[in-house]
Structure formats: structure tokens, C-alpha cells
Amino acid sequence: MPHLEYMNACHTAMVLKVVVLFTECYSLDILKIRLWHPQAIIAVHTTCLSETIGDDLTSIIQDISIPEGKYMIHTNTPSYKGSHVTGFSNMVASFISYLSVKSGKKNGKVAIIPGFTNPGDMREMKKIATAMGVKYTMLPDTSAVMDSPMTGKFEMYPKGGTTVEEIIELGDSELTLALGKAASESGAETLEKKCKVPYKVLPLPIGIANTDEYIMALQSYSKQEIPYMIEEERGQLVDILIDIHQYTYNKKVAIFGDPDTVLGLAEFVLEMGMIPKYLVTGTPGDAFGAAANELFNKFGVTDCKAKAAGDLFELHQWIKEEGVDLLIGGTHGKYIARAEDIPFVRAGFPYGQTR
């Protein structure tokens, strides 16, 4: 489901003297007056300019007088380090390291870190957890925020999302499920270090086996029977895969996007009997290639390539050298799909309009 949603972000240089491009600027102190109400929290992340200059966010935030009951957190997101997934992952960890507190009394909840996924995915993960009878806090949770309904009334702060209180209480969770190693492990690790909450890193629940893993992780915590609703949906998926295998079997696919998403989709297409010929992510790191090769071996496919810190130009070159039957990825794949006349399935981020 494509989302065209509104999210406000403010931009400022941190301190007056570092302004290079503008003669005047707002400092965070000025900003807070304009922005505090009615928000309970301001999350600050940096740009490469302030990183290069070396702004010390921790001390800047300490110098700011934060009103009672309000919070300000930060994370460093230099654009020359890692990718947007790195920044996302760090921000999740920052929420936890700034806010989560262990009260000493467990709250009977599972902390679910859903990874760099869209609100529809999060709704599905929550639906499954609820069906399994598991109480949880999801962080982050963009559902009912980034997919809010058209009501005729604009809401700057829609109903959904994770509340500050819930993030604080994460310290009392029984278990963390970190979905997607690249995006979610560091948050889970931070919660473990700070509040001694044990964690499991799982793949994103994309495809049958990965979703099974999520369900079974929830079950090993809940000790409950798995409801028929989940078995029915699962069985319907397997039935479809068998009914369509003659169209998917041995078809070659190129998949690009964020690492956890690409790995999930790759396993799913393998389950469909397809061959994930090329897997590309822009996010650097060796873990991606290693996980991809493990998948290739598990399904016994050969002549497949995986690359981290890659880009669409390179993927396009690979496709020109040896073509594929299908392209799967975010909206920018449309140029390759058009140029090479191959069908294109949009999945992952960004999920834009078809034009």
C-alpha cells in the first residue's frame, strides 16, 4: 500500500557560531520554545555538517533547560557513515538508552523492535502478537501515524505510535524480539546492557520460514497454542505457492533495498522456487553478504550475487550482462525496469507513486 503521509521535521544548525550558509540561525534553545508544546519529546539527529564540525550533542542537550515531563534525546547520524538504516538503528538505540528504565518489576511484556519496515508491516506483526496472546510494546511503531486515515480533520499528532511512558517501561520487558539484524539488533543490545532484558535477533518476518520463526519466538515466550487464524493464513500462503509454482519456478529475480528487507524477500522468493540472482543493498557491512550466501547454500542455488554498499547503477550493469525475469525493490527501480523491459514489483523503501 503506497503511503503519501505528512511528517514534520525541523532543521537547524546547532550553535550560532558554526553557521556557514546563513547569517542567522535558530539554536535549539529558541527551537524548544516554539516546539515543546504539546510534544513530550524532541528527538535530535545530526547532519554531516554538524558532525564534521564536531558538535557535542550530549553537552548541548545538557545545557538546555528541559521543562518537567518533557524529553530531548539525540543520536549521531553522519551521512558519511553507514546508511539511513544505520541512523535509524542508532536512533532506536538512543530512545532506549536515554529513556528506558529498569524498575525492578517485570511488566510481562515483550519488546518488539520491528525494524525498518512500513506501518502495514508493523500492523501485521502486532496482529500476530495479539493473536498469540502476547502483550508487547513496539518501538518504533509508525502504524496509525504514517498510515493515518482521511477524516477531514488534520491531526499534527495522530493517535498511533509508541508513547514515552511505554519506552521508559521497556526496561521492565521480559524479552526483546529484534526483527532484522541490521536495523534492530543495536536497540535490543542497548536494552540488554542497560536493563538486562534478554533478546533474540530474528529475520524480518517476510516469507514462510521467517514468519514461522517470529511466531515460534512469540510462542516460546507465551507457551500458548497457536491460534487457527494464523495456521489458516499460513496454509493459504503455502496453497498459493503450490498453485502458482509453474509460473515462479526457476525464474530469476533481482532484489534491492534495505538489508533486512532484501534478505527477507530473498528467502521468500526462494520459497517460491525462484532464484534470487542479484541481491543489492546500499547499506555497508559484511553481514549482508554472509547472510545472503548462507541462504544461497541453504536452497542450493548457484550463480547468485549479493553486494552490500552497492547501488542501482551497478545492479543495472549486472542485469545488462545477464538478465533477470523480475525486479523487486523500492520505487527507484522503475528506471531499470523500464530500460530493460522487465516486470517490477515494488517492495521496501521508498515505496512511491507509480509514474
Partner 1 sequence: MLEEKYGVPWVKVNFIGVQGTIESLRSIAEYFNDPELTERTEAVIADELDLIQEDMDYYKSKLKGKTAAIYAGGSRSHHYQVLLKDLGMSTLMAGYEFAHRDDYEGREVIPNIKLDADSKNIESITVEPDPEKYHLYLGEEDYKKLVEDKKLDYYGGMVKEMEDGTFMIDDLNHFETEEFLKIYKPDIFFSGIKDKFVAQKSGILSRQIHSYDYSGPYAGFRGAVNFARDISMGIYTPAWGYVKAPWKNKPILDGVIGGE
Interface ranges with partner 1 (CB under 8 A): 208-209, 212, 215-216, 219-220, 223-226, 231, 234, 238-239, 241-242, 245-246, 249-250, 270-273, 299
Q: Is 301 exposed, middle or buried (0-12, 13-18, 19+ CB in 10 A)?
A: middle
* Start-end of H helices in the chain: 28-35, 48-53, 57-63, 84-99, 119-131, 164-169, 181-195, 208-222, 228-243, 245-248, 259-271, 286-299, 312-321, 334-340
The smaller minimum CB distance to partner 1, of residues 96 and 129, is found at: 129
Q: Give min distance, CB of 160 to partner 1, in A.
A: 30
Q: Give min distance, CB of 199 to partner 1, in A.
A: 19
Quote the cell numbers at residue 307. 553486494
Kindly tell me the sign of the dihedral angle through the C-alpha atoms of 256, 137, 108, 225: negative
The smaller minimum CB distance to partner 1, of residues 67 and 235, is found at: 235
The smaller minimum CB distance to partner 1, of residues 18 and 208, is found at: 208
Q: Give min distance, CB of 211 to partner 1, in A.
A: 10
Backbone angles phi, psi at 27, to 5 degrees: -90, 170
Q: How far apart are CA 234 and CA 244, in angstroms?
A: 16
Reference 145, options 163, 168, 130, 133; nearest CA is: 163
Question: What's the start-to-end Cα distance of the chain, in Å?
Answer: 15
The smaller minimum CB distance to partner 1, of residues 270 and 324, is found at: 270
Q: Give min distance, CB of 135 to partner 1, in A.
A: 18
Pairing between strand 136-138 and 305-307? unpaired
The smaller minimum CB distance to partner 1, of residues 56 and 231, is found at: 231
Q: How far apart are CA 276 and CA 267, in angstroms?
A: 8
The smaller minimum CB distance to partner 1, of residues 272 and 280, is found at: 272
Q: Give min distance, CB of 234 to partner 1, in A.
A: 6
Backbone angles phi, psi at 94, to 5 degrees: -65, -40
Residue 279 contacts by C-beta under 8 Å, 6 or more apart in sequence? 254, 255, 256, 262, 263, 266, 288, 292, 304, 305, 306, 307
The smaller minimum CB distance to partner 1, of residues 84 and 234, is found at: 234
Q: Give min distance, CB of 291 to partner 1, in A.
A: 18
Q: Give min distance, CB of 228 to partner 1, in A.
A: 11
Q: How far apart are CA 9 and CA 140, in angstroms?
A: 17
Q: Give min distance, CB of 221 to partner 1, in A.
A: 11
The smaller minimum CB distance to partner 1, of residues 232 and 322, is found at: 232
